Structure 1
Amino acid sequence: MCTACATWRSAEAEIREAVLTAAAGQAEVDNLSDVERVVVQAESALRREVEEASARVRADGATLDEVASLARLIAETAVFTSRRSALALLAHGEVAAAEADLAFAARMRGAHRYRTRADAERAADEAAEQARERTARSLLSERLSVLRTRWHPAGAGVTHGPLRPA
């Protein structure tokens, strides 16, 4: 496999990861139509971005390797952005809020160990935020696991097709 083809394959894997990560954060993973809606929307937007950027650099005389590298970079950035967005959404959901409340309450039960009530509340707020972030990461991991088992590329060897449910 040539370098450009290997880089495109890597870009395709990153596109799939970005799209599934977006779905994990935005969709109800047990609702296949909701997942499909997010997948189609996210994949379409990302592929359009890759195609437009590729067309611009090809017009400037870029080589196939350079175009493929740009596509991979855009896809890698999309994975990072999708992950950050998904974590933010999940951190503000009901499950993370409940965990944060439990962590806050647990820390406040030991408020007598702190010099002042304000110190105890600061520590409880920090514990709550850590619990919220941990819960969001755990939820994202679980949701991605579910989506990876249910969704895969349309066919073996297909590199430019939309994702389809398993």
Structure 2
Amino acid sequence: MRIDMVVAGYLVHEGKVLLIKHRKLGKWLPVGGHIEKDEIPDDALKREFKEEVNLRIEIIDSMKNLQVDSDVRQLKNPFHVNVHNVGDHEHCCLFYICRTADSNSLKMNRDELLDFRWLSGQEIDEIYEKEDMPSDVRSIAKLALEAAGQEDDV
């Protein structure tokens, strides 16, 4: 079975995480997409955020980087990785926690998205119960809130 490399970012801001409702899939997901040929994961995620929600992001490294020679480019470490089936192929997804300084610039790309929301842990659970949100998206979004030290006390 074919496996595509993809990235997804859980953008945490003021105790909430940004999720988008994907137009084609009709599901609540994190911002993300395919890593293009000759593109590294960090750049792919930054591109996807710019294309989908018009935001410049900073990827939070999940662990401390090693000291390396100046000719080595260190990439951010994902905080979660999984492989999931998407029908006729699979996605190997690198998940990152992100932040932004310009959340006011958020603008939805209506060609790709139906909606977006900033959600607390409780709101994630409510949408999961009422709408189409994959269980792993729910779990990883709540993990991202926790890992970012932003989880609400519900």
Give the shorter-chain TM-score range: under 0.3
Q: TM-score, length-normalised on structure 2?
A: 0.27
Structure with greater helix percent? 1
Q: Which of the pair has more CA radius of gyration?
A: 1
Higher relative contact order (CA 8 A, sep 6+): 2
Q: TM-score, length-normalised on structure 1?
A: 0.25
Structure with greater strand percent? 2
